[in-house]
Amino acid sequence: MLSAMQAVLGVGSGALVGFSLGLVGGGGSVLAVPLMVYVVGVPQPHIAIGTSAIAVATNAAINLFNHARGGTVKWPCALTFATAGIAGALVGSTLGKMLDGHKLLALFALVMLVIAALMLKTRSRVGVEDVKMNRNNFPAIAGLGLATGTLSGFFGIGGGFLIVPALMLATGMPIMNAVSSSLVAVTAFGLTTAASYAWSGLVSWDLAAVFIAGGIAGGLAGTAAARHLSTRRGALNTVFAAVIVMVALYMLARNIFLP
């Protein structure tokens, strides 16, 4: 049973996660697990992971609805990417359990820094707004979806920071469309993980509820901020890269420099 303070901290933490998902389509699992452990005070990491999975998946779905109302979700691309990614996540999670968790997260942080550099390099690129899935880009969408899902399962996180640049690379769509469409895969990956942990009884449902409540408000603010930034050339790409760098440095500090 949550204390009143834990409930308040859970709402605030959920708002931060929801804002990140609405703004850049990523950061959900990466932010949610440490917030639950170090801020809310969940004593068991596995419960934090299971609870964050259901909370992030639900908040991603809500943010997806908000973005879909604006007509920025490229559904055929997003659904194909997510379907391939689920298959990859099952394979990746099996492989990831064989390696040391701290080394995995440190390696992922380095990958994120490379992605941030590439996003900054291409921040002035406009993208193709009317992109559609066809015979030419289908292999890239499915292939990168499979690869991204595998990496997400391997590293044990939602993968939003990988999905957005992968969608842009596969289709040439603008970052606003990639952020919106990425939430389909984030929702799918999160629900897959959540189902596994819930089956094992590793979900705190009352904490998930307050986390989701906070995420709804944060998601609305994040989506509005994303739409505003998308009107300024390169601004959303720059913010996306900056968030990736901050999270990556935090992960490196937790898994290499701190005991």
**Tens of pLDDT, residues 74-91:** 999 999 999 998 888 878
State residue 74's pLDDT score. 93
Nearest CA to 161 out of 90, 48, 38, 56 is that of 56
Judged against a pLDDT cut of 80, whether residue 115 lies above it is answered with no
Judge whether 202 and 47 are in contact, CB under 8 Å. Answer: yes
Judged against a pLDDT cut of 60, whether residue 63 lies above it is answered with yes
Judged against a pLDDT cut of 70, whether residue 125 lies above it is answered with no
pTM, to two decimals: 0.80
Which ranges constitute the DSSP H helices of the chain? Answer: 4-24, 28-34, 45-69, 75-96, 101-121, 138-155, 160-171, 175-199, 205-230, 235-252
Give the whole-number percent of the chain exceeding pLDDT 90.
21
φ, ψ at 150 (rounded to 5°): -65, -45
Instruction: With cut-offs at 50, 70 and 90, classify the pLDDT of residue 162.
Output: confident
Lowest mean pLDDT, pick from 10-24, 99-113, 181-195, 213-227: 99-113
Q: Which two tokens stand for residue 89?
A: 């996540």
Work out how many domains the chain is built from and give that number: 1
| Structural domain harbouring 220 | 4-257
State residue 104's pLDDT score. 65
What whole-number distance in Å separates Cα of residue 70 and Cα of residue 156? 31
